[in-house]
Amino acid sequence: MSQSLSTRTQMGRWKPASGKRSQNQEIIHLRVGETVFITTRYTLCKESSYLQSLLSDRKQQLTDGTYFVDADPKLFAYILRYLRHGIYPVLLSGRGGHDLTTYVTIERFAADLQIEGLAKWLHDKHYESAIECSVSFDAVMNPNYVGPTILSRPYLPTDDVDFLVASTSSNNGRVWEVKKRFTVRPEAILRDHA
């Protein structure tokens, strides 16, 4: 496709529009670490005065046409998702709590890029209100127990649960299944609602 914009026709198909792209719609190739991100100038510059300054200085453009930011591309992916869609990052660690290390790192990176809205959201720890956690306890049968069962549902090895032994003195085979459910609150993670 040429440098022109695409527009939707009445039949729902895309066709190239006449004319050139405006400067805001210019496609930018940004090399962050070893990864190239492709987006528009508008997306990168609408909240970041650092990126606006970088992209306005043609001397910063590399010979292959890309601009370079020496940073972790995995972290920049969260920044770009925020700039594109207004979605704040919500990250859980493997233990079910928030991934505080990544939050602090993204916050510092956002501050360096002068993306104040994202940096402030992370600094103020709004991610803590973005997830609702509910815990329930259900008695289930130990899969290694041989004997009469008093439960209606056996434990399946594929269930993703944590266990607590109900009683160490009893041999009835009961354990407690701890079900953790995490629910994302969209109004807490979308920029337009936060």
Report pLDDT for 14: 44
Q: Is the pLDDT of residue 138 over 50?
A: yes
Mean pLDDT of 66-79: 96
Which band of pLDDT confidence, cut at 50, 70 and 90, is reported for residue 20? low
3-class secondary structure for 78-126?
HHHHHHHHCECCCCECCCCCECHHHHHHHHHHHHHCCCHHHHHHHHCCH
Report pLDDT for 111: 98
At residue 174, φ and ψ (nearest 5 deg) are: -75, 140
- Distance separating alpha carbons of residues 88 and 22, to the nearest angstrom: 28
Range with the lowest mean pLDDT among 10-14, 31-35, 86-90, 187-191? 10-14
Cβ proximity of 29 and 69 under 8 Å: no
Specify the pairing of strand 174-184 against strand 162-165.
antiparallel
| pLDDT tens by residue, 141-174 | 555 555 544 444 444 444 444 444 444 444 455 5
Q: Is the pLDDT of residue 186 over 50?
A: yes
Instruction: Give pTM, 2 decimals.
Output: 0.65
Residues β-bridged to residue 8: 14
What domains appear along the chain, each with residue ranges and CATH number? 19-129 (3.30.710.10), 132-183 (no CATH)
Per-residue tokens: 105: 């790192």
For residue 68, the Cα-to-chain-centroid distance in whole angstroms is 23
Mean pLDDT of 14-38: 77
SS3 of residue 3 by DSSP: coil
Specify the pairing of strand 14-16 against strand 6-8.
antiparallel
Mean pLDDT of 38-55: 96
